[in-house]
Amino acid sequence: MDAWINHLLVLLALPQYGLSTVLVVSFVSATLLPMASEPAVFGLIKNNPALFWPVIATATVGNTLGGALNWGIGLASHKVVDKYRHSSTHLRALDWLERIGPKACLLSWLPVVGDPLCAVAGWLQLPFWRCVLYMAVGKFLRYLIMTAALLWVFPGGLTH
């Protein structure tokens, strides 16, 4: 599997493929697979600062589509599971998510918990489009703030 992923990353290497790479990497990184999209986003913007807004938009779309996939996985798993049995911690977390509703998807940008949060939102059958809207807002703000901060903190690039 590692060889396949390495081959895919070489195929999508920046800057030859640019925005398509950012779209694919940000999509995959939003799924339950462990991958970070920030290096691709930052690398493309550092190599081509004129693409700042298209890269931020593309990363937001890809990451939001990945979150929507997680929502669908959660919905599908809900339909498969007869009854769930969880510890009191899980039940409290589910209760919190049900009370907060789709707005909880604003936190979909968080490492470790963000992607599963989208899946649980689907499992709970929270409204799809409202969840996607909140996912998009949270992910957009993450990419915007992270990239702007990196450009300000590392104006000369990371290779020095």
Which one, of 127, 143, 125, 119, lies nearest residue 52 by Cα?
143
pLDDT (0 to 100) of residue 87? 60
Report the alpha-carbon distance of residue 23 to residue 2 in Å, rounded: 21
Give me the residue label for tokens 């600062």: 49
CB 108 within 8 A of CB 114: yes
Report the alpha-carbon distance of residue 113 to residue 1 in Å, rounded: 24
pLDDT (0 to 100) of residue 129? 96
10-residue block means of pLDDT along the chain (160 residues)?
64 64 90 82 88 94 93 79 58 83 90 84 90 95 90 67
What are the CB-based long-range contacts (under 8 Å, 24+) for 50-55? Answer: 51/18, 51/19, 52/147, 54/19, 55/19, 55/22, 55/147
pLDDT (0 to 100) of residue 134? 95
DSSP state of 14: T
Specify burial of residue 103 (Cβ count, 10 A radius: 0-12, 13-18, 19+): middle
